[in-house]
Amino acid sequence: MTTVFQPGNQYPVLLGPLADTFPQWMAQRNPSGVLLLTDSNTRKHCLPAFLQASGLPSDTPVVEIPAGETHKHLATCTAIWEQMLTARLDRHALVINLGGGVIGDMGGFCAATWKRGVDFVQVPTTLLSMTDAAIGGKLGIDFQQVKNTIGVFRNPGAVFVDPVFLQTLPERELRSGFAEVIKHALIGSVELWETICHFSPTHLQACSYEDWHHILRLSIDVKVQVVTEDPHEKGIRMLLNYGHTIGHALESYFLETEHPLTHGEAIAIGMLTESWIQQQQLGKIVPEEWKALLLRIFPHQKIPAGIVPEIWQTMLQDKKNKAGSVRMSLPKSMQLDMELVEPCEAEILSALEAYSLLQV
């Protein structure tokens, strides 16, 4: 069974078995050439199944880059563009991004800038990219350790979401993506919340293909509604950044340590701390069940208080800010309703202290 979404009526997001949709889509598209982008893990774990389901020839050119966020930068783009040159990709070619958010963001960026733009499709292989990164047309790379600083908006030709790839995803990565699923529930779907509110790490591991199809259908629906209404992040799309103002700054900080956090681990702390700020500034009580779910799925992290000045500096560079303040977008309800708050550095410190006290 395939579920079809159409963000802004621009391109299809096809949720279901790849073999049911990809070959037909390719036959219609008929590109002049194809380049497949993978990282070292998706080449090993996802490429064989992808080639089989897609019907593409086994000698389709494959570019492999090293796995991980630390490679999401300009030097890797140069390596990808060099491969595009070698493969003689013209403007009627197609780039297929087979991987997580790093491959999707960076492969999409390389395609969008190659000869002023060649088409690309996203074939997300992590939970995070299936529910979030692959949808919405935001592409880019990190610069000077600041995440997603260089980038463009450009829609893919299509997004093929097949939960089959989740079978080989490491448990920590599955939890990482689940942070975005929780975020989508909290900002915009009571039905999704009711489906996942009782989850534990054991539940996540035990989900079947059908369970994932159900969860992804509800979660993708929230993302699609938001990007359809606000494709260029002028308003409600900022709500997708719930947890990301503090979360991104923590992620950048820990990236440079011996114990990097996954995106989802950082965003989970971000949602807990940003909710605390919302509670202080607006007197809005954050339901205990939200905190309980986040703390069940994401082990408590020790955050040294001394890092606040550094993460504050990172937060000041956040793209949502205006005129030197830090702006956070927080959910008013589970119905895509947003409020913006502007905390000061001392409140970030207090929020992280409050998070420390949550440790059980």
Ligand X SMILES: NC(=O)c1ccc[n+]([C@@H]2O[C@H](COP(=O)([O-])OP(=O)(O)OC[C@H]3O[C@@H](n4cnc5c(N)ncnc54)[C@H](O)[C@@H]3O)[C@@H](O)[C@H]2O)c1
Judged by CB under 6 A, the residue of 263, 273, 327, 331 near ligand X is: 263
Mark whether 345 is an active-site residue: no
Beta strand spans in the chain (E): 3-5, 13-15, 34-39, 62-65, 94-99, 119-124, 138-143, 146-153, 158-161, 328-331, 338-341
List of residues 6+ apart from 237 with CB closer than 8 A: 136, 226, 227, 229, 230, 231
Q: Is residue 53 within the footprint of ligand X (CB under 6 A)?
A: no
176 interacts with ligand X by CB under 6 A: yes
If one asks whether residue 173 binds ligand X (CB under 6 A), the answer comes out as yes
247 binding ligand X? (CB under 6 A):
no
- Dmax over CA atoms of the chain, in Å, equals 60
Is 138 considered catalytic here?
A: yes
Report if residue 136 touches ligand X, rule: CB under 6 A: yes
Residue 223 annotated among the catalytic residues of the structure: yes
Instruction: Determine, following the binding rule CB under 6 A, whether residue 317 of this chain makes contact with ligand X.
Output: no
Judge whether 116 counts as a catalytic residue. yes
Q: How far is CA 56 from the centre of its chain?
A: 27
Query: Which position among 7, 101, 270, 331 is part of the footprint of ligand X (CB under 6 A)?
Result: 101
Closest by CA position to 182, among listed 268, 276, 270: 268
Q: Which is nearer to ligand X, 12 or 264 (CB)?
A: 264
Using DSSP, how many helices (H) and how many strands (E) does the chain show? 15, 11
For ligand X, which residue of 18, 31, 54, 69 counts as binding (CB under 6 A)?
A: 69
Give the residue, chosen from 15, 18, 53, 67, that forms a contact with ligand X under the rule CB under 6 A: 67
**What is the per-residue DSSP string for 74-123?**
HHHHHHHHHHHHHTT--TT-EEEEEESHHHHHHHHHHHHHGGG--EEEEE
Look up 214 and say whether it is catalytic.
no
Residue 203 annotated in active site: no
Residue 22 touching ligand X (CB under 6 A): no
CA–CA gap between residue 140 and residue 104 (Å, rounded)? 9
Between 107 and 343, whose beta carbon lies closer to ligand X?
107
Contact 141, 73 (CB under 8 A): yes
The rounded distance, in Å, linking the Cα atoms of 47 and 44 is 6
Catalytic residue among 147, 183, 213, 244: 244
Active site residue 322: no
The SS3 assignment for 300 reads: coil
Catalytic residue among 180, 251, 265, 274: 180
CB of 158 vs ligand X, minimal distance in Å? 16
Q: Which of 72, 175, 213, 237 is catalytic?
A: 237
- State yes or no: residue 102 binds ligand X (CB under 6 A): yes
**Quick check: is 213 catalytic?**
no
Burial class (CB in 10 A: 0-12, 13-18, 19+), 61: middle
* Region near ligand X per CB under 6 A, out of 165-173, 212-220, 298-306, 328-336: 165-173
- Distance between first and last Cα of the chain: 43
Q: How far is CA 160 from CA 15, 123, 259, in A?
A: 6, 5, 33
Q: Name the one range near ligand X by CB under 6 A: 10-18, 66-74, 190-198, 283-291.
A: 66-74
**Residue numbers of the site for ligand X (CB under 6 A)?**
39, 41-42, 45-46, 67-69, 72, 99-103, 105, 125-126, 128-129, 132-133, 136, 138, 147-148, 165, 168-169, 173, 176, 263
Residues designated as active site: 116, 138, 180, 223, 233, 237, 241, 244, 248, 263
